[in-house]
Chain A
């Protein structure tokens, strides 16, 4: 099973700050890595597909990078509405595991 480890688990940030969340895979998954945002009491929402490809309707301040085992989600100029938990997810091999999540709190 591929284990995805995110860091940090929690981060408290101020608006307009730049945020970086990392996701490390226990083995090479190429670019088969997605990022999802889940706000309180809502369903997850797709932010980034295939490590770095943008999704229609998602603000441009969200971007992804990486390949192989190391991936990054970057949020430029954080906004209050970005308070949420962020998950990475691999679609390389079954079982299609998620990272443990990174909770962003806006100060």
Chain B
């Protein structure tokens, strides 16, 4: 069974940076695409970014392009989200999620518990 555990959330000032991590259990990580999805407390889900199994292709939502970078280290079974130039509207719970496909998006079959990012102005 796949387990995903996010970390790195916290309070940061507007304009600041934060790096989220998502540690995955199991050997399946290195053959799976991975996503970040966020949720403003009390609101709906927003897809943020996707990365291929090998890290060679990435896709982003327009509202994070140029500010956020998704990456992965398969030797550590870990997914990252580097968030720069943070804004108050980036305040949300950030989830990592696994995709069973390696180099295209299929669906999100396992989710972490989420980590809360609060951007203060």
CB within 8 Å of B: which residues of A?
1, 34, 36, 38, 43-46, 49-50, 55, 87, 89, 91, 94-101
Question: Within residues 91 to 114 of chain B, which ones have a CB less than 8 A from any CB in chain A?
Answer: 95, 105-109, 111-114
CA distance A100 to B95 in the complex (A): 17
- Please report the C-alpha to C-alpha distance between residue A25 and residue B43 in the assembled complex, in whole angstroms: 20
The answer to whether B113 and A97 touch across the interface, beta carbons within 8 angstroms, is no
Tell me whether B114 and A96 are in contact (CB under 8 A). Answer: no
In the assembled complex, the Cα of A45 lies from the Cα of B105 at a distance in Å of 17
For chain B, the bracket of interface size reads: 20 to 34
Q: Please state if A98 and B105 are interface contacts (CB–CB under 8 Å).
A: no
A98 to B38, CA, bound (A): 11
| B114 near A43: Cβ-Cβ < 8 Å | yes
The total of interchain contacts (Cβ-Cβ below 8 angstroms) comes to: 57
Q: Contacts of B60 on A, CB cut-off 8 Å?
A: 95
Q: Which of B44, B45, B47, B112 has the most CB of A within 10 A?
A: B45
**B46 in contact with A91 (CB, 8 Å):** no
Query: Measured between C-beta atoms, what is the minimum distance from A78 to chain B in Å?
Result: 22
In the assembled complex, the Cα of A101 lies from the Cα of B46 at a distance in Å of 11
A34-B108, A43-B113 known; A95-B61 Cβ under 8 A: yes
Q: Is the CB of B108 within 8 A of A46?
A: yes
CA distance A99 to B44 in the complex (A): 8
Asked if B76 is at the interface (CB within 8 A of a chain A CB), the reply is: no
Q: Are A46 and B109 in contact (CB under 8 A)?
A: yes
Known A43-B113, A43-B114; contact A97-B47, beta-carbon cutoff 8 A: yes
Contact across chains for A95 and B62 when beta carbons are under 8 A apart: yes
A87 contacts B45, C-beta separation under 8 Å: yes
